[in-house]
């Protein structure tokens, strides 16, 4: 079938009756997500979560990068292996793009602008303009033109995407419907459906999946639901087969007279939206549990005990009080203040502070500047167990032949 008319990708949203249970699910998600988004946490945690989201984005695409390799790439230490270096650069590009998009599209105005052809092209351009020419022109596969809509026909699995000349028309209709959805729970249904229908349009020759997921991630942030503390990409990556199966199912034609009134399956669209809402709720619940402040002091203590007793890294348990303070306040301390809070003598406290900086448990912008809570990969298994399991067995200590979890 040739898709060249916008009625061919209806329904863009399920009927009112079909939306009812989804709205109830979205209500629970919105309430718990807003509560989590208001949490005060160290900025270093948000930075680490960007790396984690980038890791999972690569994993969804089957372009695997190890957490330690992403950490190296952020220091501009790229592999000598050409293919691995390309994946590392893509991971860094995702991290940087995510930060830019979250600052560019904020609040109600950001949500409105995200539902536009310009925004879809902007996301694609922002991501792929960060890559060198050799990464955009691979030996196998199409040449990627950042921000440029496709000018040829494509198919994805069993789905034949709309005629390339009709792509702007489909995107205009996509933006009109989802951009005019009322706020609140209905907006969550809209962003889930928009994710699938954007993939159905397939605006670009390549990079559509990444654009779809960045669009959804940025929308959730603009709606105030994430606070930089969670992303559905982690959940998508941990259920990749289901993610792709439900995406493909929602591409299918209507399954008889009881399956809505549009050209495509309403039942499959409902299943897809329910899946997205469930993934988001799972991620919110998981992160809410990890951020229970009553547990943090115990977790930091476990990390310090391992450093002191097993690694003998120079880190001492005396750092617990100031480190916990920095975590719960998301603040910074003068170096003298930090040393005073340890209760140690000046010389011993100075050695401890240097060891904490060397191990990444403290970070500072300058050699003598204020210090903040740090969260290196090797501390994850203590501070945030199971947050990024792949990083727990791929941290700096393991790479250097140190102790393993």
The answer on 109 and 81 residing in a single domain is: yes
Residue 239 and residue 247 in contact, taking contact as beta carbons nearer than 8 Å: no
pLDDT tens-digit series, residues 254-294: 988 778 788 999 999 999 999 999 999 999 999 998 888 67
Question: Of 167-181, 202-216, 290-304, 322-336, where does mean pLDDT reach its minimum?
Answer: 290-304
pLDDT at 41: 85
The answer on 100 and 67 residing in a single domain is: yes
Q: What percent of the chain has pLDDT over 70?
A: 96
Question: Is 50 exceeded by the pLDDT of residue 190?
Answer: yes
286 within domain boundaries: yes
The answer on 303 and 272 residing in a single domain is: no
403 within domain boundaries: no
CA angle centred on 362, ends 361 and 364, rounded to 5°: 150
Which residues are part of a known binding site for ATP?
Answer: 156-159, 206-213, 243-244
pTM for the predicted model, two decimal places: 0.90
In the chain, how many domains are there? 2
405 within domain boundaries: no
215 within domain boundaries: yes
Mean pLDDT, residues 157-162 taken together? 89
The answer on 231 and 312 residing in a single domain is: no
The answer on 65 and 19 residing in a single domain is: yes
Question: Is 80 exceeded by the pLDDT of residue 398?
Answer: no
Domain limit, last residue, from 290, 309, 340: 290
pLDDT at 405: 27
The answer on 49 and 13 residing in a single domain is: yes
pLDDT at 402: 33
Question: Is 80 exceeded by the pLDDT of residue 404?
Answer: no
The answer on 337 and 286 residing in a single domain is: no
Q: How far apart are CA 75 and CA 64, in angstroms?
A: 19
The answer on 148 and 283 residing in a single domain is: yes
1 within domain boundaries: no
The answer on 216 and 91 residing in a single domain is: yes
182 within domain boundaries: yes
Q: How far apart are CA 339 and CA 356, in angstroms?
A: 11
Confidence of residue 351 (pLDDT cuts 50, 70, 90): very high
Question: Is 50 exceeded by the pLDDT of residue 204?
Answer: yes
Residue pointed to by tokens 């900025």: 43
197 within domain boundaries: yes
pLDDT tens-digit series, residues 216-230: 999 999 999 999 999
Question: Of 276-280, 364-368, 396-400, where does mean pLDDT reach its minimum?
Answer: 396-400
Q: How far apart are CA 278 and CA 29, in angstroms?
A: 8
List the catalytic residues. Answer: 202
The answer on 126 and 273 residing in a single domain is: yes
Domain limit, last residue, from 242, 273, 290: 290
The answer on 219 and 269 residing in a single domain is: yes
Domain limit, last residue, from 235, 260, 290: 290
402 within domain boundaries: no
Q: What's 391's domain CATH number? A: 1.10.10
Mean pLDDT, residues 145-173 taken together? 94
pLDDT at 393: 67
pLDDT at 399: 43
pLDDT tens-digit series, residues 16-63: 999 999 999 999 999 999 999 988 888 889 999 999 999 999 999 988
Q: What's 240's domain CATH number? A: 1.10.3290.10
- Domain span at residue 66? 6-290
Question: Of 233-237, 311-315, 384-388, 395-399, where does mean pLDDT reach its minimum?
Answer: 395-399
**Phi then psi dihedrals of residue 359, to 5 deg:** -85, -5
Which residues are part of a known binding site?
Answer: 156-159, 206-213, 243-244
Mean pLDDT, residues 92-120 taken together? 97
The answer on 187 and 123 residing in a single domain is: yes
């Amino acid at each position: 079938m040739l898709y060249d008319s916008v009625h061919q990708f209806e329904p863009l949203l399920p009927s009112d009756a079909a939306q009812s249970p989804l709205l109830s699910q979205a209500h629970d998600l919105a309430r718990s997500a807003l509560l989590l988004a208001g949490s005060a946490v160290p900025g270093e945690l948000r930075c680490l979560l960007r790396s984690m989201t980038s890791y999972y984005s690569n994993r969804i695409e089957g372009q695997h990068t190890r957490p330690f390799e992403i950490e190296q790439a952020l220091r501009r230490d790229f592999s000598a292996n050409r293919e691995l270096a390309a994946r590392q650069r893509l991971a860094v590009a995702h991290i940087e793009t995510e930060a830019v998009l979250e600052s560019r599209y904020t609040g109600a105005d950001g949500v409105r602008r995200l539902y536009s052809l310009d925004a879809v092209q902007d996301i694609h351009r922002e991501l792929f303009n960060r890559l060198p020419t050799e990464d955009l022109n691979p030996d196998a596969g199409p040449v990627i033109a950042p921000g440029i809509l496709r000018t040829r026909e494509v198919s994805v699995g069993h789905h034949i995407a709309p005629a390339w000349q009709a792509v702007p028309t489909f995107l205009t209709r996509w933006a009109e419907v989802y951009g005019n959805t009322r706020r609140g729970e209905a907006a969550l249904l809209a962003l889930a459906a928009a994710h699938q229908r954007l993939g159905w349009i397939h605006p670009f020759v390549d990079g559509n999946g990444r654009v779809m997921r960045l669009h959804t991630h940025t929308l959730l942030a603009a709606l105030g639901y994430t606070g930089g503390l969670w992303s559905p990409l982690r959940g998508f990556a941990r259920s990749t087969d289901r993610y792709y199966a439900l995406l493909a199912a929602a591409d299918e034609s209507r399954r008889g007279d009881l399956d809505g009134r549009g050209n495509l399956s309403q039942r499959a669209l409902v299943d897809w939206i329910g899946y997205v809402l469930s993934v988001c709720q799972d991620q919110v619940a998981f992160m809410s549990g990890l951020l229970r402040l009553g547990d943090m002091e115990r977790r930091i203590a476990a990390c310090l005990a391992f450093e002191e007793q097993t690694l003998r890294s120079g880190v001492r348990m005396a750092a617990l009080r100031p480190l916990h303070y920095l975590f719960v306040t998301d603040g910074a301390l003068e170096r003298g203040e930090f040393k005073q809070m340890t209760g140690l003598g000046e010389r011993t406290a100075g050695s401890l502070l240097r060891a904490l900086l060397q191990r990444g448990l403290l970070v500072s912008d300058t050699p003598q500047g204020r210090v903040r809570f740090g969260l290196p990969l090797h501390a994850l298994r203590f501070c945030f167990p199971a947050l990024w399991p792949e990083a727990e067995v791929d941290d700096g200590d393991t790479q250097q032949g140190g102790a393993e979890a």
